[in-house]
């Protein structure tokens, strides 16, 4: 395998492998280009299986010549069979939950940040930074701490308290910006011009985004080297969605798996649904929105990879759709009650869309479906407030029996 260059996704212009992310000719996004032609599938599979218990087992498909030193390696999160959830939804399908909350900072962002921080070190940066809706902030602060780098983390100032606390603890420079995520992102795009820092999702974005491919590889490996028939995936910027597709495609091309791309169902919150709106309107570009949803981790009103997410949904006969805040809360509870997995609001969005697909009868009998849960419920506790009642009793038997008399008798 060799990493060839950075290549513009729009016009194909090639650039050297530096801290670049924009094509100077057409302003399109840059992406890492590889040559996998000398990868033998049998030997590659053997190397993966003999590799580390995390994302670096897939180093052959990541933008490094060797395996970087990573003290906080994410990945190999559980793929859980969700029979009870399938039953509750009336599905006669093989339903799986990829629980990516089981990462070092409890979201899939550890994957992309591990790759970006390793690249930042390789390129000689001593400070990393990011524009974040919360999960990325946690991950950048933690991985910078583990690597001994300075960090600056920019978030909307009105973020969930849990996400602020779980970022500040790592000793980062936490900057709350009075504005929404798109304001934060614009500011960071400008700061990336004037500060010699590695902004993981700005000037290092081509490398950072590659980390999401590992979710596709793991899915295939955990399904016994087979592909799912359908995936249900949250969409914020659209990067995870498109890179999952690229991950599956690379393994199809190399011959590590056979079959075809799964159907891709993208999930957004109605209060921030630029990609779902563009998909249903038949547009090729997204019209930006001002977010207003409890799913703050998905609240990107101007999604950078929106056009590519729409293309991939169409190419796989999939769709992108949205759910309301009420449906998000139902989704969180449904997943928790049937699988024991407590997800944040983004997972509520994804399960919400799964529920809609099930209700409409779009999931065929025997279909193998993987639902991507990208973050942890403890980070968005407010979303579960007032969704259940606690029984409060005195510390004696009578009090308990009185409280539960009806249920015990029944």
Partner 1 sequence: MSITVKIPTQLRAATGGESEVEVSGATVGEVLDAVFEAYGDLRERITQDGDLRRFVNVYVSGEDIRFQQGLETAIEDGADVTILPAVAGG
Q: Which of 25, 46, 195, 405 binds partner 1 (CB under 8 A)?
A: 25
Residue selected from 1, 3, 22, 223 as contacting partner 1 according to rule CB under 8 A: 22
Instruction: Report the distance separating Cα 17 and Cα 306, nearest Å.
Output: 24
Is the separation of the CB atoms in 240 and 374 below 8 Å? yes
Phi and psi at residue 300, to the nearest 5°: -110, 115
Q: Is 185 in the site for partner 1 (CB under 8 A)?
A: yes
Q: What is the dihedral of CA 113, 163, 353, 355, to 10 degrees?
A: 120
10 binds partner 1 (CB under 8 A): yes
Minimum Å gap between C-beta 193 and partner 1 is 5
* Residue 205 binds partner 1 (CB under 8 A): yes
Which of the residues 97 through 136 are near partner 1 (CB under 8 A)? 131
Determine, following the binding rule CB under 8 A, whether residue 278 of this chain makes contact with partner 1: no
CA 48, 66, 36: angle at the middle one, nearest 5? 65
Q: Give the interface segment with partner 1, choosing from 82-90, 186-194, 347-355, 400-408 (CB under 8 A).
A: 186-194
How many CA atoms within 13 Å lie on the side-chain side of 239? 24
Q: How far is the CB of 326 from partner 1 (least distance, A)?
A: 26
Any contact of residue 202 with partner 1 (CB under 8 A)? yes
Supply 161's token pair.
Answer: 């308290």
Does position 237 bind partner 1 by CB under 8 A? yes
Number of residues that bind partner 1 (CB under 8 A): 40
Best CA proximity match to 236, nearest among 182, 311, 198: 182
- Residue ranges of E strands in 200-307: 230-234, 263-269
Query: Which of 113, 304, 334, 336 forms a contact with partner 1 (CB under 8 A)?
Result: 304
Residue 195 in contact with partner 1, rule: CB under 8 A = no
Binding mask 29-48 for partner 1 (x = CB under 8 A): x-------------------
Q: What is residue 321's three-state secondary structure?
A: strand
- Indicate whether 238 belongs to the interface with partner 1 (CB under 8 A): yes
Structure tokens at 382: 């407010």
236 interacts with partner 1 by CB under 8 A: yes
Which residues in 236-252 are b (16+ Cβ under 10 Å) and which e?
Answer: bbbbbbbbbbbbbebbb
Q: What are the tokens at 190?
A: 């400008």
From the list 199, 248, 264, 372, which residue makes contact with partner 1 (rule: CB under 8 A)? 199
DSSP letter assigned to residue 107: B
- CA 227, CA 316: separation in Å to the nearest integer? 14
Does 27 participate in binding partner 1 (rule CB under 8 A)?
A: yes
210 binds partner 1 per the rule CB under 8 A: no
Q: How many residues does the chain have?
A: 410
Site membership for partner 1, residue 189 (CB under 8 A): yes
Identify the residue among 2, 14, 18, 24 touching partner 1 (CB under 8 A).
24
Tokens at residue 126, please? 């001593």
Contacting residues toward partner 1, per CB under 8 A: 10, 21-29, 131, 181-183, 185-186, 188-190, 192-193, 199, 201-202, 205, 236-239, 284-285, 287-288, 290, 300, 302-305, 307
């Amino acid at each position: 395998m060799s990493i060839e260059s950075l290549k513009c996704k729009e016009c194909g212009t090639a650039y050297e492998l530096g801290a670049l992310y924009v094509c100077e000719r057409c302003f399109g996004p840059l992406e890492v280009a590889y040559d996998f032609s000398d990868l033998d599938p049998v030997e590659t599979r053997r190397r993966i299986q003999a590799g580390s218990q995390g994302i670096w087992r897939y180093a052959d498909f990541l933008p490094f010549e060797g395996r970087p030193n990573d003290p906080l390696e994410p990945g190999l999160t559980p793929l859980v069979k969700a029979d009870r959830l399938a039953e509750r939804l009336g599905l006669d399908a093989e339903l799986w939950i990829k629980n990516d909350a089981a990462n070092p900072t409890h979201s899939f962002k550890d994957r992309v940040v591990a790759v970006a921080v390793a690249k930042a070190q390789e390129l000689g940066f001593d400070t990393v930074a990011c524009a974040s809706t919360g999960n990325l902030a946690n991950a950048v602060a933690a991985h910078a701490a583990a690597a001994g780098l300075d960090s600056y983390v920019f978030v909307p100032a009105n973020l969930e308290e849990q996400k602020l606390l779980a970022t500040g603890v790592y000793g980062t420079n936490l900057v709350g910006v009075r504005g929404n995520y798109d304001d934060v992102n614009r500011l960071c795009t400008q700061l990336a011009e004037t500060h010699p820092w590695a902004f993981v999702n700005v000037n290092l974005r081509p490398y950072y985004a590659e980390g999401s491919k590992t979710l596709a590889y793991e899915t295939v490996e955990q399904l016994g080297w087979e592909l799912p028939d359908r995936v249900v995936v949250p969409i914020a910027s659209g990067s995870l969605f498109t890179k999952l597709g690229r991950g599956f495609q690379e393994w199809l091309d190399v011959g590590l798996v056979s079959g075809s791309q799964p159907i891709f169902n993208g999930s957004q919150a109605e209060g921030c649904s630029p990609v779902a709106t563009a998909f249903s309107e038949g547009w090729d570009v997204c019209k930006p929105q001002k977010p207003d949803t409890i799913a703050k981790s998905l609240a990107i009103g101007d999604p950078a990879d929106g056009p590519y997410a729409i293309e991939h949904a169409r190419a796989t006969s999939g769709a992108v759709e949205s759910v309301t805040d009420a449906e998000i809360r139902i989704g969180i509870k449904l997943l928790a009650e049937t699988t024991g997995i407590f997800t944040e609001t983004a997972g509520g969005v994804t399960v919400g869309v799964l529920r809609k697909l099930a209700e409409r009868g779009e999931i065929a009998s025997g279909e193998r479906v993987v639902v991507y849960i990208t973050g942890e419920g403890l980070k968005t506790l407010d979303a579960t407030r007032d969704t259940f009642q606690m029984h409060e009793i005195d510390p004696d038997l009578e009090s308990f029996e009185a409280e539960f008399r009806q249920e015990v008798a029944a």
